Amino acid sequence: MSAGDSRTVAARALAPVISGQGSLSALDAQLAASALPERDRGFVKALCFGVCRAHPRLDALAARLLRQPFKRRDADVQALLLIGLYQLLHMRVPPHAAVSETAGAARALGKAWATRVLNGCLRRFQRESVALQAQVDRDPPVALWHPAWLLRELRDAWPVEWRTLCEANNEAGPMTLRVNRRRGSRGDYLKRLDEAGIAATPCRFSPDGIQLESPCDINQLPGFQTGDVSVQDESAQLCAELLTPALEGSAGKRVLDACSAPGGKTAHLLERFDLDLTALDIDPARLARVGATLERLGLNARLHAADAGDRADNAEWDGQTFDAILLDAPCSGTGVIRRHPDIKLLRRYSDIAELAALQARLLDNLWTRLAPGGTLLYATCSVLPAENADQIAAFLARTPNAVAETPSDLEWGRPAGAGRQLLTQPGGHDGFFYARLRKGNAA
C-alpha cells in the first residue's frame, strides 16, 4: 500500500470533522477496518490530530492559496490541502513527497481534477511560505491556533494564563498511567517499567499516577492486559483523592457514578475502596466500554443505561439514596483539547450555555438521590467558569442544604469559587474542575 493511501484514509477521516458532521472518535475503528499496515496507522493519526490541532492556522493559509473555496461536497479535497500544509510545516516528510503524494491522493478519492489544484497550491506555499504565514498571523486566533470565540473566553477567564493555556492546548498531552492498587504498588510498577526499558516518573499529585517520558503502545506496558495498570490523566485521578473522606472506613458504601463512560473514574474508585457502586451512562454503547474496562481490571459494578438528569428514570435503575455521588458532567472539553483537538472545529460558543443548562439539570436531579450527610463530587474537564465556579455558585444559591466542602489546602490547582480549578499544563496534567459538596439536613 502506497504512502498516498495513508493520506487518502486521513482525508476521509477528516472530511466530516471539517464539515462539522463528525469527530475523530471513530478513527481507531476506521484504521482497524482499513487495509493499512500497522506502521502507517500512526502516520494517519498524526495527520488527523495534527490538522485538527493547527486547523485555525492551516485553514487561514488554505484560504490565501485558493482562488475560491472548495464546494461542501469536496471537504475531502480540502482535507488533503490541510494535510499537505501540515506536512510542510510540522512534519519531517520530504517536501517533494508531501506535495506529490498529497496531490496524488485525490485520485484515490475519485477526484483526479483536484490533483492539479492541490499541486499548484502546495507549490505556491513552498515559494511564498514566509510571506503567507506573516499575513495570516496578524490575526491572533490564527496565530494561536484557536477559534476566535474560544480565545476570547480564555482571555476573559484567565487574563494572566491564557497564552500558556493556548500553548498547552497546541501540544500533544503526555501519556499518564494509573496503577491498580489491588495488584501492586506504584513503586513496584515503576521498577517493572524500568526493566521493560520504559522511562517514567511518579506523578506529583496523584499517588497512583505515573507519567511516561514518551507515549507507547498499551501492549508494551507490563501487565496492562491483566489489569495491573490503566491509562488516565493525573487530573482525572484526583477524583478518588477528593472522595476518600466520604468512602474510606466501612465497606459497602453505596456510590453512584452518574456519567460513567468510559469508566476510568469508576474503576479507580473500585480499585481504592470496597463499594456497592452503580454506574450510569445515557449511551448504551459507551456504557459497554465501562463494562469492558471493569472486566479487564477484575472489578464489578451495576451498569445501567439511563439519563441521570431525568427524574422519571430514577426508579427504573435504583430507587434508593447514595452515600456518595460522582457527577463527571458533560462539558465543553476545553481542558482536554490537546487530547481531542477536533473540539476546535466542532465546539461552538452557543454550546456553552446549553451545556451549563444540562449540568444544572443533572445537579438538581442527582441531589435528590443523595442521602443526608452524603457527598456529591462535581467534576468537569473544562476551564470555563460558566461550567465550573459559576455553575456551582448558582447551585449553592438555589439549594439551601448544599454545603461546599472543597479543601482549601490542596497542593494542586487553584481556588475557583467553591471549587478547585486545574489549568492545562504543558507537559503535565489536563485542565479539570472539582467541587465537593455535602448534603445537610435542612430542607
Give the per-residue pLDDT at 104: 96
Question: Which are the catalytic amino acids?
Answer: 381
| pLDDT of 302 higher than 70 | yes
Predicted TM-score (pTM) of this structure:
0.95
The count of structural domains within the chain is 3
Q: Please, which pLDDT band fits residue 2 given cuts at 50, 70 and 90? A: low
CA angle 179, 182, 186 (to 5 degrees): 35
Rounded average pLDDT over 58-74: 97
Rounded average pLDDT over 265-281: 97
Domain hosting residue 401, numbered range: 234-439
What is the DSSP annotation of 113-133? HHHHHHHHHHHHHHHHHHHHH
Residue 79 lies in a domain: yes
Give the per-residue pLDDT at 310: 84
Residues 250 and 341 in one domain: yes
User: Which residues on adjacent β-strands are paired with residue 277?
Assistant: 255
Q: How far apart are CA 238 and CA 220, in angstroms?
A: 25
Residues 90 and 183 in one domain: no
Residue 58 lies in a domain: yes
Residue 266 lies in a domain: yes
Residues 132 and 202 in one domain: no
- For 308-339, write each residue's pLDDT tens digit: 988 766 555 667 899 999 999 999 999 999 99
Residues 375 and 248 in one domain: yes
Q: Please, which pLDDT band fits residue 213 given cuts at 50, 70 and 90? A: very high
Q: Please, which pLDDT band fits residue 184 given cuts at 50, 70 and 90? A: very high
Give the per-residue pLDDT at 138: 98
| pLDDT of 243 higher than 50 | yes
Residue 82, all three cell numbers: 490541510
Of 50, 57, 15, the closest CA to residue 151 belongs to: 57
Give the residue with greater pLDDT, 195 vs 1.
195
Q: Please, which pLDDT band fits residue 341 given cuts at 50, 70 and 90? A: very high
Q: Please, which pLDDT band fits residue 424 given cuts at 50, 70 and 90? A: very high
Residue 46 lies in a domain: yes
The residue count for the chain: 443
Residue 163 lies in a domain: no
Identify the burial level of 392 via C-beta atoms within 10 angstroms of its C-beta, where 0-12 means exposed, 13-18 middle and 19 or more buried: buried
CA angle 109, 17, 335 (to 5 degrees): 150
Of 431, 373, 430, the closest CA to residue 401 belongs to: 373
- For 10-38, write each residue's pLDDT tens digit: 999 999 999 999 999 989 888 988 889 88
C-alpha 342: how far from chain center: 10
Q: How far apart are CA 299 and CA 376, in angstroms?
A: 23
Rounded average pLDDT over 344-360: 98
Q: How far apart are CA 21 and CA 44, in angstroms?
A: 20
Residues 50 and 132 in one domain: yes
Task: Determine what percent of the chain is predicted with pLDDT higher than 90.
Answer: 92
Residues 58 and 205 in one domain: no
Backbone angles phi, psi at 173, to 5 degrees: -75, 155
Lowest mean pLDDT among 37-41, 63-67, 133-137, 409-413: 37-41
Q: How far apart are CA 124 and CA 337, in angstroms?
A: 31
Residues 95 and 200 in one domain: no
Q: What is the CATH number of the domain that holds 396?
A: 3.40.50.150
What is the DSSP annotation of 277-311? EEEEES-HHHHHHHHHHHHHHT---EEEE--TT-G
Pick from 203, 231, 259: which residue ends a domain? 231
Residues 299 and 269 in one domain: yes
Residue 150 lies in a domain: no
Q: Please, which pLDDT band fits residue 1 given cuts at 50, 70 and 90? A: very low
Average pLDDT, the chain: 95
